[in-house]
Amino acid sequence: MWRHLLKSTRNLSSTTGSTVDTSELRHFKQFANEWWNECGDLRALHSLNKLRIPLVRDGILSVLQKSTQGTTPLKDISILDVGCGGGILTEPLARIGGHVTGLDANCDLIEKAKLRTKEKNLKVDYLCSSIEKYACDNKEKHDAVVASEILEHVTQKKEFLEACVQCLKPGGSVFITTINKTPVANVLGIFVAENLLGLLPKGTHQYEKFIKPHNLEKILEDLNCKTVLVQGMFYNFVGNEWHWCSNDSINYALHAVKLKN
Ligand SMILES: C[S@@+](CC[C@H](N)C(=O)[O-])C[C@H]1O[C@@H](n2cnc3c(N)ncnc32)[C@H](O)[C@@H]1O
């Protein structure tokens, strides 16, 4: 009977629970004071901007058929950065004109991010919330939703992505960067990066939470989104440099568009 009760409680929490995994929030809280240290534990997120800023900028502009010229090509474009942390990607998107909302379930990180925008005199709306709570009051609000390096920290991916897509205008773009669920990602991304070389703190990633691109595409398709790009990304940890590549077996980026009907 106990086993039966336990099972039904687990089922209940997986159907009605939040997309926020509290152990993940605890994990990222430890980086609050060094979020902006470009040589610290989060250096790979800093260097990833070289790929993901053009990915988001050019993806949005090509869907909206606008020009990439000028210093503020994302002017008047509304972007939601989900799981923004301290704002490593959020800030540069605002600097090129985006009207950016940074959302993270970790209130400490959001406080740090807010302080920084004041210091830097930047305009970003930062909010501490889960995506599903935010989605309730912000349906079809944004031209683009960015979920960069967060999906591999979310257990309830369908619910998380559904809430992301709810916040998108029809015709809007969703951008995701994440880790493939392959043996090579398990060995290099976890065993080598965390345990052998100490490039990332131990426990940052769990293999079960990785997702294959075609499974991600399928979830998005069920949410009425068409995938227009899946591109592999390669991290050279010696030089702390990212490159686009044709092999998506470790890291990849995906761009999908919410269909209009
Ligand atoms: C690896 S960090 C990525 C930060 C940022 N996207 C970047 O790439 O610079 C993951 C972030 O996701 C946040 N997070 C994890 N699960 C979340 C959820 N369900 N809703 C909102 N934020 C979440 C964590 O607090 C953390 O700040």
Average pLDDT over residues 51-59: 98
pLDDT cut 70: percent of the chain above it = 93
**Is residue 209 one of the residues assigned to a domain?**
no
Q: If you compute the radius of gyration of the chain from its CA atoms, what whole number of angstroms results?
A: 18
Of 51-55, 144-148, 237-241, least confident by mean pLDDT is: 237-241
**Is residue 13 one of the residues assigned to a domain?**
no
Distance 206 CA to ligand 1 centre (A): 15
Q: What are phi and psi of 260, to 5 degrees?
A: -85, -15
Q: d(Cα 172, Cα 154) in Å, to the nearest integer? A: 23
Dihedral of alpha carbons 14, 20, 26, 27, sign: positive
**Is residue 7 one of the residues assigned to a domain?**
no
With a cut of 50, say whether residue 6 has pLDDT above it: no
Mean pLDDT estimate for the chain: 91
Confidence at 7, pLDDT banded by 50, 70, 90:
very low
**Is residue 18 one of the residues assigned to a domain?**
no
Q: Contact, 95 vs 137, CB < 8 A?
A: no
CATH number, residue 243:
3.40.50.150
Distance 1 CA to ligand 1 centre (A): 38
Q: What is the pLDDT of residues 60-108, one digit of tens each?
A: 999 999 887 889 999 999 999 999 999 999 999 999 999 999 999 999 9
Q: What is the pLDDT of residues 152-190, one digit of tens each?
A: 999 999 999 999 999 999 999 999 999 999 999 999 989
Distance 63 CA to ligand 1 centre (A): 26
Atom of ligand 1 minimally distant from the CA of 148: 6
112 ligand 1 Cβ < 6 A: no
Burial 11-35 (b: 16+ CB within 10 A, else e): eeeeeeeebbbeebbeebeebbeeb
**Residue 42, domain extent:** 27-179+215-258
Beta strands in the chain (DSSP E): 78-82, 99-104, 125-128, 142-148, 168-179, 225-236, 241-245, 251-258
**Is residue 56 one of the residues assigned to a domain?**
yes
Q: What is the pLDDT of residues 108-150, one digit of tens each?
A: 999 999 999 999 999 999 999 999 999 999 999 999 999 999 9
Q: Whose CA is nearest to atom 27 of ligand 1?
A: 85
The total number of structural domains that make up the chain: 1
